[in-house]
Amino acid sequence: MKRERVNFDFSGCSVLVTGGTSGIGLQIASAYADSGAVVHITGRRPSGHDYDADLSRFVYHVYDAFDREAASRLASEIDSLDILINNAGAAFPRGVNEWEEEGFRDAIEVNLMSYFSVATALRDKLAHSQLEGGGSVIGIGSLTSFFGFEMVPGYGAAKGALVQLTKTLAVSWAKHGIRCNLIAAGNIETPMNADMTDEQFDKLYARLPIQRQGTPADIAGAALYLTSPLASYVTGQTLAVDGGYTIAMYM
């Protein structure tokens, strides 16, 4: 029996997706635009025309996580906001080994401090959202939110901290009508994972109940649900979108 696809309607909503120029961020931004929202995205280049992807359907803002004033400038450029997708992040953000103090600090700055700075700068605008179920903040976590990964101690520490920060923001901001949730992305088909070897894929699939690599669309679907009225009683939660990786022993 063929089931009808669920269609979300975000007509008239204002959405911000940080790091929305490629990969998961671009897919999420596109999903909201397809659902009728006005979508703002951020990137580090001077213009949205400086990317290979066609970003013409979005409102582009320059944002650099290493710039301490960037979050307040970003907030001043957006008149109203219903949904914040705090997606921007990277391992080895300036190419420095994360086992060196500089590299560790860089990873914390980009993946944790930036999340906090953007969310707090935009809290008051989210609090004025008229979206059914209230304004929403969605963070993008990772399997390193749950597991140790030797190569990226800083990235992993930041992604693990987002689980707790999501709970704290959810408790603190509920009185402002804002819900906060985290999506822990599994191994997703993005440029960040493009260099995986066959051996690494074999190890991944040995543990995956759902025998495929995830796609950015899988993460976008979770974001649409968590920010919709269907999830109006859901806050402070971490949703693993990982093909079952976190629930399975090696099969």
Q: What is the pLDDT of residue 105?
A: 97
- Given a cut of 70, whether residue 20 has pLDDT beyond it is yes
Residue 155 annotated in active site: yes
pLDDT of residue 84: 99
Q: What is the percent of the chain where pLDDT is above 90?
A: 82
User: Which pLDDT value is given to residue 251?
Assistant: 57
DSSP string, 199-233: HHHHHHHTT-SS-S-B-HHHHHHHHHHHTSGGGTT
What's domain 14-241's architecture? 3-Layer(aba) Sandwich (3.40)
Residues 193-251 have pLDDT tens digits of 667 777 877 777 788 899 888 999 999 999 999 999 999 999 999 999 999 999 987 65
pTM, rounded to two decimals: 0.94
| Per-residue model confidence as pLDDT tens digits over 78-93 | 999 999 999 999 988 8
Q: How confident is the model at residue 123 (pLDDT cuts 50, 70, 90)?
A: very high
pLDDT of residue 193: 67
The one catalytic residue in 32, 60, 63, 155 is 155
